[in-house]
Amino acid sequence: MYLHIEEGTKVKKGDGIFTLYANSERKIDQALDVYNDLKPIQFSRIILEEIE
């Protein structure tokens, strides 16, 4: 998941706030199910791993 905004950034309806990446369509579908079940989501900026 790549976050396009930082905590405290004001957004409006339709703004893209994140991009979700997966290796298969099944994993994307599962992630979207979780997203839809947990709305609203509060994001904080956390770097889990840097890829060079």
pLDDT in 10s for each residue of the chain, 52 residues: 888 888 788 888 888 888 888 899 999 999 889 888 887 666 666 666 777 7
pLDDT of residue 10: 85
pLDDT of residue 46: 64
Q: If phi over 0 gives left and psi between -120 and 50 gives alpha, with beta otherwise, what is residue 14?
A: left
Paired with 2 in beta bridges are 19
Q: Which amino acid is at 3?
A: L
> What is the rounded CA–CA span in Å between residue 30 and residue 36?
10
Record the pTM. 0.51
Which of 47, 43, 46, 48 has the alpha carbon at shortest distance from 9? 43
- Coil, helix or strand at residue 19: strand
pLDDT of residue 32: 86
